[in-house]
Every structure is written in C-alpha cells, then in structure tokens.
Structure 1
Amino acid sequence: MTMAMAARSSVRVALASGRSIATRRVPAACPAAVPARGFFSLPDLGKFSPFSSPSSSSSSTAAPTTATTSLSSDAQTSKDFEIHTEKVTLPYPRQLLFNIVQDVDRYQEFVPYCLESSVRSGEEEPESAMDGNTGAEARSVLADLTVGYKTVQETYTSRVDIVQDQLVRATALPHPLFRHLETVWAFTSPSPDSRECQVEFSLAYAFSSPVYGALAKAVMQRMATEMVSAFEKRAAQLSG
C-alpha cells in the first residue's frame, strides 16, 4: 500500500539531483475508468474473496510441500496499469503471516517508507460477515497511511478488504497522485496446522502523471521485493 507513493518520492529526489534512472515506454493512459476490482490472476483469489467481481479470474496451483524462503518475481503491463507480483513460501504458520499483514496499525513499525499508519476507529464497513465459498469471516476497514522518501511525504486512504487467514486487499481511494493503486496478499498452506505458508503479493498501480509512471517502473519491482522481505523479517521476529 506504500510503494507507489514511495516510488514517486524517490523519483522526485532523483530528478532534483540529476541522477540517471532507466526508463521504459509505457502505454498511453486509458481515458476509461480503471476498475477497482477483478484484475488479478491470483491462485484461488476469486473463491477466497467476497469482494471480487463475478468476472474475476482465478486459477489453481499446487500447495507447497517444502519450506523455502526463495522469492520468485514477475511483472507485467496491462493497458491501464503496471502489475508486480512476488511469491514466497515461508516456514511460518498461515495465521501468523495473515495477522501481520492485516495489522495495518503496526505498519509504521517495520514497513519500508511507511511513516504513519492507522485504521480509522469505528469506520469498519459491514459489507459481508462471511465468505460465501469458504465460510471465513470477512470485513472491510478504512486505513490512513503516510509514506515518504527523504524530504517528500504523502498521505492517502485505502479501503482494506480482509478474509480471515486467506486474503488482505488494500485499494486506495481517489487521490491526485495516481489513477489506481491496489495491493493483494493471498495466503495458502497445505493444511490448517501447517508450519509453512505460500504468500503471494501483488501490486497494481497507475500514476496520474505519465512521467512519474515511466520513471517509477525502474524502482517498483525492487520495492515490491523489499515489502515482502520486511514482512518475512517481521514474522521471524514475532515467532522467535
């Protein structure tokens, strides 16, 4: 939820210092409104989330059988926004990892570039009490984040959709900086009592400024990796 803001901040600093940043051409901004949901192709995301649109795509993947901390990364471009993904199998219970991700109030303690984080008290949205497919508890909250890089700071609000032990999705509310910003964490494990969990993190973003969008591509994948690494380190601290 913090990386697009931090990328824009680092781009500003780079421009001011004259530092060279590699860029690639990005598609022209699409004038049509960018959909807020339903563009991820995550394993079983549709069945986990009560908030996805009916057209959301999903595919099945085999459950991990061995614990490993090696990361696999991917990036792709849709006609409307950039999508970055990170996949990692961690030697920690799914519930522990899920609790770390859904505890937005504590992001400021360990998430890179996050200066302040808070869930708005009393503003939980009772959209759905249970997930229709899994029977898991589901809820939505509003969260405020302040992110920064050196002297540049930005604050924005996200709607956070939570499916207990399975999914955390944060979608930023309208902001002048970007046309779209959404992150998804999906958690799968071989069994409920397993000591390992496969985590898939996806980031989709589209800056309002094509200049920022082009420059940010050089740093967004690195930031996605840093984000997953920060949560992995947090899990190690809490489990130790």
Structure 2
Amino acid sequence: MPSLSKQISIPYAPEQIFDLVSDVARYPEFIKWIRDMKVSGLREEQGIRYFRGEASVGFKGFSERFSTDVAADPEKHTIDVSLVRGPFRRLKNRWALGKASDGTTLVDFFIDYEFRNPVLSLLARANTDLAVSKIMTAFRQEADRRYG
C-alpha cells in the first residue's frame, strides 16, 4: 500500500503552479509516460472547479487507462484527485501549494495508491519514491518552460 508525501520549493507564484498542476489536459506535453489525457464534465461550484480526467499511460510495454475525479480550488491552492476506475484498488492524490516568504511556492505532494495486480503493486512499492521524484522534476521543468 504505497503512500508518499514530498515537499519541494518551486521559484514561481502559487497561482502559476496551481494553473500548471490543474491543467491536466496538457500533462502529455511534459510527462512522457502519459500518452493521452481527456478532460470532461467541467463544472464550477462555489469557486471550485470539478472535472474528470481520463489518462492513457504507458511505459516499458505496460499500457493502461484510468479515470480520476479532480477538485481544483484556486482560493486554497489545492488540487485533490480520486480514483473513478482503472488498474488501481485505491488512488488518492493531493497537491497543496503555499507561498513562502521569498515568494516561491512550497509544493506539498501526497499520493496513496494500490494496484489491483499484485505484481504491479510489488513493482510500485519498490519505485514510488523514484516515480514521484520524476513527476516533481517534470512539473519543475514545465514551470521553468512556461514561466521562466
């Protein structure tokens, strides 16, 4: 049952990082294992944007599709992701963005997941930290490209 929390600092405003993280339709542009992303059901309630993301991912001969529900709160600078369907038994993800005194953004990333397939679960358990580090690097590089 892998879960991981990671904190990093990115030298851009929280609003910019929120826009980057909540723009899931563009993930295939900078996260190499996301082959396709479709966004549907966009609606807003009390300032929070809700939508569904359906991703096609693949790496090293492995290919899967999964769907998540996303709640993006621009006032609190949080993005919450929960599983709808896919190869996971469980998936919860949260991005919480805060402004540091030097104007940078403190990114608090949390993920808790479990694959249905025991072999994938074993592989994921051994590689969770590496995968999250690669995700953080991809977002940092995309922030540099967009805002640097």
The two structures have a TM-score, normalised by structure 2, of 0.90
> Of 214, 219, 226, which residue of structure 1 is paired with 2:122?
214
Give the structure 2 partner of residue 171 of structure 1: 82
Letter in 1 for 2:133: T
- Distance (Å, rounded) in 2 between the aligned partners of 1:189 and 1:117: 29
Task: Write out aligned runs for 1:36-51 (5 A).
Answer: none
Letter in 1 for 2:93: T
CA 1:185 to 1:222, structure 2 compared with 1: closer, same or farther past 3 Å? same
Alpha carbons 1:162, 1:168 under 8 Å: kept: yes
Letter in 2 for 1:187: L
- Distance (Å, rounded) in 1 between the aligned partners of 2:2 and 2:62: 23
- Distance (Å, rounded) in 1 between the aligned partners of 2:118 and 2:25: 32
CA 1:138 to 1:92, structure 2 compared with 1: closer, same or farther past 3 Å? same
Runs (4 or more) in structure 1 with deviation over 6 Å come to none
Task: Give the 3-state SS of the residue equivalent to 1:238 in structure 2.
Answer: helix
Give the structure 2 partner of residue 98 of structure 1: 18
Give the structure 2 partner of residue 229 of structure 1: 137
> Of 107, 116, 135, which residue of structure 1 is paired with 2:27?
107
- Distance (Å, rounded) in 2 between the aligned partners of 1:108 and 1:89: 23
- Distance (Å, rounded) in 1 between the aligned partners of 2:110 and 2:32: 16
Letter in 2 for 1:213: S
Alpha carbons 2:2, 2:128 under 8 Å: kept: no
Task: Give the 3-state SS of the residue equivalent to 1:112 in structure 2.
Answer: coil
Task: Write out aligned runs for 1:140-219 (5 A).
Answer: 140-164=50-74, 166-175=77-86, 177-190=87-100, 195-219=103-127
Task: Give the 3-state SS of the residue equivalent to 1:199 in structure 2.
Answer: strand
Letter in 1 for 2:79: V
Q: CA deviation at 1:185?
A: 0.8
Give the structure 1 partner of residue 7 of structure 2: 87
Number of residue pairs the alignment of both structures matches: 147
Q: Which has the higher strand share?
A: 2
Q: Percent identity?
A: 24
Q: CA deviation at 1:138?
A: 0.9
Q: CA deviation at 1:209?
A: 2.6
| CA displacement 1:17-70 (0-9 Å, x = unmatched) | xxxxxxxxxxxxxxxxxxxxxxxxxxxxxxxxxxxxxxxxxxxxxxxxxxxxxx
Alpha carbons 1:112, 1:227 under 8 Å: kept: no
Task: Write out aligned runs for 1:20-99 (5 A).
Answer: 81-99=1-19
- Distance (Å, rounded) in 2 between the aligned partners of 1:172 and 1:94: 25
| CA displacement 1:178-237 (0-9 Å, x = unmatched) | 21012211101147xx63110011111111133321222111210001001110111111
| CA displacement 1:133-189 (0-9 Å, x = unmatched) | xxxx212101111100033211111101110151111112133x2210122111011
- Distance (Å, rounded) in 2 between the aligned partners of 1:152 and 1:89: 32
Letter in 1 for 2:56: T
Alpha carbons 2:2, 2:124 under 8 Å: kept: no
Q: CA deviation at 1:125?
A: 4.5
- Distance (Å, rounded) in 1 between the aligned partners of 2:118 and 2:65: 21
